[in-house]
Amino acid sequence: MKPEDKNIEQLLNEVAQLKIENSVLRELESKHTEIKEALDQERSLYLDLANAFPSGMYRLRVFASHYTIQEKWMSSKEAPYILEFVNNRFCEILNLSREDYEHNPAIINDLIFENDKTEFARRNIEANKHRIPFLWEGCMIVKGEKLWVHFESLPRLLDNGDILWTGILYDINIRKNFEQEIKRKNEELNNINIEKDRILSIIGHDMKTPFNAIIGFCDLLSEKIKLNDYKQIERYADIISHSSQRAMDLLRNLIQWSQSQTDKKNFNPENFEMTDTIDEVLLLLKDIAEHKSISVTKSTPAQIPIFADKIMISTIIRNLVSNAIKFTPFGGSICIHAYPTSDTIVMSVSDTGIGINRMNIQLLFKIGSNITTQGTNNEPGTGMGLILCKEFIDRHDGKIWVESEEGKGTIITFTIPNNKNKE
């Protein structure tokens, strides 16, 4: 029916109907606006809550296919998931912008520390396969730095077979560093206990031996003096001298080592001439070397300026030269070399002594090794000299090493940084 064919009454009815429909539409539009505003408000509240959360929050979707393939979890290329939501804290922890994860929604895979990727993949495959909570703790590389993190998330299976994971990311770097520091301290304490046990063993056994000899031979010496047995008197006097020297060497090293352990701050570097210190040590040990007819030569520049702890350097040189004399036979030779390089001071003590077998070389600087050897004139060893040397060289950030062949001699070399004239 054409509008002109309709009567006025019909037209009025249609207009009334249109008004009703228009009113319904306006009412629906108003309700839609209210619902949209409510949803926007809810979303805003949700985002505010998520962004106020002190840990990272995230939601990711794992696709129904390919998530059991380990290689898919090793990089963001063809990864079996996408990040659908992250809060601000998530971005802060991983130092990402929202554009970063929006551009690469599987960026987590690229950030996992290489050594942890296999375990990260295994945990993800296991959690998705069995629909169990995902828990993983490991390292990520964030802007070139290692960062310890902890992931926790729960799965929800969707109708299409995808799995929606909602979880939390924790920055545990401080905790892990603290744990590693505790572990390091525990190792230090364990080493200290080993050293303490070693020292007690030395004091209880090695110190007892020379003093027992001194006491015993002093009694015998008294008897021989009464009998005017000068041959035996001289022999016993030599034994008492050797025992006293051993006790003194051991006691001196023990005291210096103990001081270095109990007062780590007792390190007093100064400028001095190393050549002069070498000469002082050689003068101190001259009589002992001459007693065994050992020639001691020195090959050094006229001056070697050095910035170091003078007492420690003197102790190192004294122990090395004393050891060389002790283990070199009558008529042997010892040579001291020292010279500066652009960045180190190098010194070596070589001898024509009895040498050291390869197995013992590895144990010389270990405090629990119990490596002690008698000298060529039955001079007793203490096992502490080289340990003390290494302790003092380590304090200077230097190095020490041994080259030796049984029956042919030994060369012990050490270096320390060349910080001459340092203020």
Task: Report the distance separating Cα 295 and Cα 351, nearest Å.
Answer: 10
Residue 293 lies in a domain: yes
Both 257 and 346 in one domain: the answer is no
Both 285 and 387 in one domain: the answer is yes
Q: Quick one: pLDDT at residue 95?
A: 92
371 pLDDT exceeds 60? no
Both 145 and 57 in one domain: the answer is yes
Give per-residue pLDDT as tens, 96-149.
Answer: 998 998 899 999 999 999 999 999 999 999 999 999 999 999 999 998 999 999
Residue 243 lies in a domain: yes
Both 213 and 128 in one domain: the answer is no
SS3 breakdown of the chain: % helix, strand, coil, rounded to 5? 55, 20, 25
CA distances from 338 to 96, 142, 146, 289 (A): 55, 47, 43, 20
Comparing 370 with 384, which gets the higher pLDDT? 384
Diameter of the chain measured on Cα atoms:
163
Both 303 and 412 in one domain: the answer is yes
Give per-residue pLDDT as tens, 285-312.
Answer: 887 888 789 999 999 998 999 999 988 8
Average pLDDT (222-240) is 74
Comparing 244 with 411, which gets the higher pLDDT? 411
Both 344 and 420 in one domain: the answer is yes
- Residue 348 in tokens: 């070596």
Residue with tokens 């401080």: 174
Q: Quick one: pLDDT at residue 73?
A: 94
Residue 253 belongs to domain spanning? 207-265
Cα dihedral sign, 156-160-161-166: negative
Beta-carbon count within 10 A of 215 CB: 11
Q: Quick one: pLDDT at residue 25?
A: 83
Number of domains in the chain: 4
374 pLDDT exceeds 60? no
Both 271 and 254 in one domain: the answer is no
- Residue 102 in tokens: 């929006």
Q: Quick one: pLDDT at residue 5?
A: 58
